[in-house]
Structure 1
Amino acid sequence: MGLVIIFSLVTLLALYGVIRSLREKNILGLLFGLGTAAVFGWFTIMTVLHHGYPVAH
């Protein structure tokens, strides 16, 4: 369960970074933010689907 929370927080912070880099017209920051949001968002979704939320024993 802790892994899902950490992945979710990283995804949310990456999305915040994407929005902020769009406002500041920072292309490199936008690319890294989108990449981070895509990778960690995928990890979040797959971890929830595979392990369940809350963790099923």
Structure 2
Amino acid sequence: MVLGIITLLIAILAAVGLFREFKRKNFFAVGFAAITIAVFGWFSIRTILSIIFPESS
């Protein structure tokens, strides 16, 4: 459960960075932030769901 929460925090921080870099029009950083949100967000959601519902994964 701790791993899921840590990766969720990373995804949230990447979302903050995405909006900040979008304001600065740094689209290279926006791309990396979007990829980070997608990967860490998906991993954290699936990790938390597999702990809550162990038979569905």
TM range (shorter): 0.7 to 0.9
Alpha-carbon distance in structure 2 between the residues aligned to 1:52 and 1:43: 14
Q: Which runs of 5+ in 1 are unaligned?
A: none
1:22 aligns with 2:22: yes
- List runs of 5+ in structure 2 lacking aligned partners: none
Is the partner of 2:18 in helix, strand or coil? helix
The code of the aligned residue for 2:23 comes to: R
Alpha-carbon RMSD across the aligned residues, in angstroms, is: 1.3
Greater share of helix residues, 1 or 2?
2
One-letter amino acid of the counterpart of residue 42, structure 1: W
SS in structure 1 of the partner of residue 17 of structure 2: helix
* Structure 1 residue 34: Cα displacement: 0.1
The offset of 1:51, in angstroms, is 1.2
Segments of 4+ in structure 1 off by > 4 A?
Answer: none
TM (norm. structure 1) is 0.86
- Identical aligned residues as a percent: 42
* Alignment coverage as a number of residue pairs: 53
Q: TM-score, normalised by structure 2?
A: 0.86
